[in-house]
Structure 1
């Protein structure tokens, strides 16, 4: 007499072999290759929240920034020398800030720009000019940014105060670095599930303050996100350091010691489009630093929280 369990056992073995084959396919090394096809327009939405609490000379100073930035990038045709122009521009900007001493700033690029006659006007003017900024990034065959055009003309028309504020966002150095850091964030060699790599990213906080974030990435495999098949890469900040360069306030950094309290994030890379589909990260940092301000030594304790969310269409 045939056992009724045999077909079930046979089917179970087939399903097991089939699932093993699928799993083996997903475990094969994959190449996370960037693509910038001519004529394709990509629109990126970045949502950023930054909170900083600083204690110095018995005073507690809190800063909070919430910003939503929408920008676009459209690649042109590659020339005979292998150079591809990418026309970039800010499409919209919405920002809410609480600056030291409870100074509040609200800006929405969709509304008519009006000065307030207060100390926040220079900040508002900087946001207003940045909200319509345009420039062209030139990349080589390897998609490395090698030149920027159009930004210097904009900066040259601004007052020294506003120019100083925007230079940290629109200088050649910043724009080239931002593009190349993103391209370099993915390894050039194929990666397997569980493989890790590290990269250093820099964030300019204006007035000569640049913080270096050493990040660890880990390839997690293929997943489905909103119906799209993408590669999941986890990310976290493992180390931070601060550099203070030349600045109009002549503040000098004597020493600093920062540590990462917590950090987590994820990047979803779409191999079909050759670009990031979505990403998010959240990091908390604490530390202490000694500054020389007007030839006086000032010690400060700092707590910093940064969260970012990005979507590309």
Structure 2
């Protein structure tokens, strides 16, 4: 009888630990890119649920010249987000009014003035040195908390990209300039980001995987399969589910079951958060998906 009781206690304890492990993987983190389209959207326009963690991500800081014919600067970053509305004073105000809000900047993006924003370092050391100096200045001026890496075009190999970005994040963290970092890969650029993850996963806090880069015919089952696939690609990473609210949005849409898929992930203890590209695209409709995403994340499971 005693042996049977001990076995039952042990099984119950193991089940409890497994449930705790699953629950610990869920997160109430919501992230929103903002500023890339320069359509006047403000931080204060976006609804913020006080029961979640909220990250704004300014889009973008790019190591290109700010001219009509932009060219690479080897790590000297300039601001390309809408800095007529997304000002240091506005960031200060939104963070004071909402203690659950943090603000980051994203590096790279798709294009700069219609030209692909290529990652084009002349050398790893020079690029990292220039990037640390220029980004530290921007981050401190705007009172930012972290960075996101969203390079989508490359004029270099995977190893150079990984070493450059990995050293940049490590240095900014060691210097106390940022408290978190994320990457924003999609299927076509996984070869670059997987090497970065392999070598520097310890300094990367979130994976903003662009699930909206998949086909617009994506269904719930396929989305869940893609999510599991990327979780295996970025083992141990906090993979965020994502949608795009732009006119050319692909992937699993809210109309086709995105939030149903997120509910499944949350019940399974897998939902590390949700991000939306972008506030600029959501502005005209009044941010309905931002509200729905945050409501879902605020529900404890």
Fold match (TM-score > 0.5): no
- Give 1 or 2 for the bigger CA radius of gyration: 1
Q: Relative CO higher for 1 or 2, CA cutoff 8 Å, sep ≥ 6?
A: 2
**Greater helix percent: which structure?**
2
**Greater strand percent: which structure?**
1
TM-score when scaled to structure 2? 0.30
TM-score when scaled to structure 1? 0.29
